[in-house]
Amino acid sequence: MVAAAMRTRFDQFGKQMVRDALEGLCAVETDAEVPADTRRVDLWITPGETYTSLPDHLGLLGRISGCSVTLEFFHNTPSGEELHVCLIKHGEFRHFLSRRKTLPPLPIQWVISSGRPDAGIDGLGFRPMNDGPRGIYESPRLHYTRLVVVSELPMTRDTLLVRVLGAGSVLKQAIVELQTLPAEEPERRLALPVLVRLRLSVPTDPAQRTIDDQEFLMNTQDIVENWRREAIQEGRQEGRQEGMELGERKLLLRQLRRRFGAEIDGEIERRVAAAPAERVEVWAERVLSAGTLAELLAE
């Protein structure tokens, strides 16, 4: 059984950022299977058993994810046919779930599109939502689908974590807003590490880059340097508090968790704690250049 590939690395960024935002708060399943023709949903989100409400800093993203939903990401604006396929797939997914012995909450579909899919909006009968901000549309009732046109969203902090899923000038402006936030603000701590990982996934060979890749590199050229500068400052602060060497190890683990998430387990923590100071320094230098965890920790 072959899974459909994500459309672009930028759509993969959307999946990763939303997963990170909701980790521990909701059940989030990537590439949820839709049995007919082995279609897959980008993200399927179900509120956790202890769910009360999502953090305020998630803003519009939190309100979108506050109940059982599926998310589909389009960094490149979908055609009318692509949007139609989303509606078909979502109907099949709801039907598949409705046949389970224990009926789960049936999800609403949210399609996140960087630009306005005029053909899909007109041809499929989408209308602006009465109780939502500008840029949000809803399908006829029985399609159970809502559409976010990221380029039309108001430029407020409430929409920031959705606008960072946009393209072109919208993404550029969202990145500027993220970087102007204080380092401790949750939106910045959530989105910037994922953007760094996305930047590192862009091919090093210019001939292999797309126009989107080139534009993204230009828009994010300050991110890595700012990350490095903040890391140095964190190291100095922890060094003063706990001794320089211990501070460097804690800082390295923090950076590793930001880059590699759940890959940083107890074994990796013990390895960092036991490594000579010289090896810790080498690993710290590789945090932003290594493509994988194994490459970073190579002896």
- 9-13, 52-56, 72-76, 198-202: range with lowest mean pLDDT: 198-202
For 208, how many CA atoms within 13 A lie in the half-sphere containing its CB?
Answer: 5
Q: Phi and psi (nearest 5°) for 74?
A: -130, 95
**Same domain (yes/no): 113, 231:** no
pLDDT given at position 7: 65
Is residue 130 located within the same domain as residue 266? no
Q: Are residues 150 and 14 in the same domain?
A: yes
In a domain, 193, yes or no: no
Q: Write the pLDDT tens digit of every residue in 73-90.
A: 999 999 999 999 999 999
Taking the C-alpha atoms of residue 199 and residue 14, their distance in angstroms, rounded to an integer, is: 13
Mean pLDDT of the chain: 84
Single out the residue in 122, 145, 168 at which a domain terminates. 168
In a domain, 3, yes or no: no
Structural domain for 288, as ranges: 223-296
Whether 71 maps to a domain, the answer reads yes
| Range 103-124 average pLDDT | 95
pLDDT classification of 4: cutoffs 50, 70, 90: very low
Which residues make beta-bridge pairs with 136? 148
Based on the fold, state whether residues 88 and 228 are members of the same structural domain: no
Q: Is the predicted pLDDT of residue 3 greater than 50, yes or no?
A: no
Instruction: Please tell me whether the overall predicted TM-score, pTM, comes out greater than 0.85 for this model.
Output: no
Is 67 among the domain residues? yes
45 with 146, same domain?
yes
Choosing from 127, 144, 168, the residue where a domain stops is 168
Residue 87 lies in a domain: yes
In whole angstroms, give the CA distance from residue 70 to residue 72: 7
Q: Are residues 43 and 139 in the same domain?
A: yes
Average pLDDT over residues 168-182: 91
Residue 205 within any structural domain of the chain: no
pLDDT tens for each residue of 25-45: 888 888 887 765 667 899 999
Give the contacts of 148 (CB within 8 A, at least 6 positions apart). Answer: 64, 110, 111, 112, 113, 135, 136, 137, 162
- Given a cut of 80, is residue 231 above it in pLDDT? no
Instruction: Say what the pLDDT of residue 2 is.
Output: 40
Listed range (155-164, 205-214, 258-267, 282-291) with the worst mean pLDDT: 282-291
Is 33 found in the same domain as 144?
yes
* Residue 289 to residue 17: CA distance in whole angstroms: 20
Same domain? For 154 and 240 the reply is no
Q: In 3-state terms, what secondary structure has residue 41?
A: strand
Q: Indicate whether 24 and 149 sit together in one domain.
A: yes
Q: Are residues 160 and 232 both part of a single domain? A: no
**What's the total number of domains in the chain?**
2
The answer to whether residue 190 is domain-embedded is: no
Tell whether 18 and 109 lie within a shared domain.
yes
Choosing from 136, 153, 168, the residue where a domain stops is 168
Residue 1 within any structural domain of the chain:
no
Residue 125 shares a structural domain with residue 25: yes
Question: Counting Cβ atoms within 10 Å, is residue 75 exposed (0-12), middle (13-18) or buried (19+)?
Answer: buried
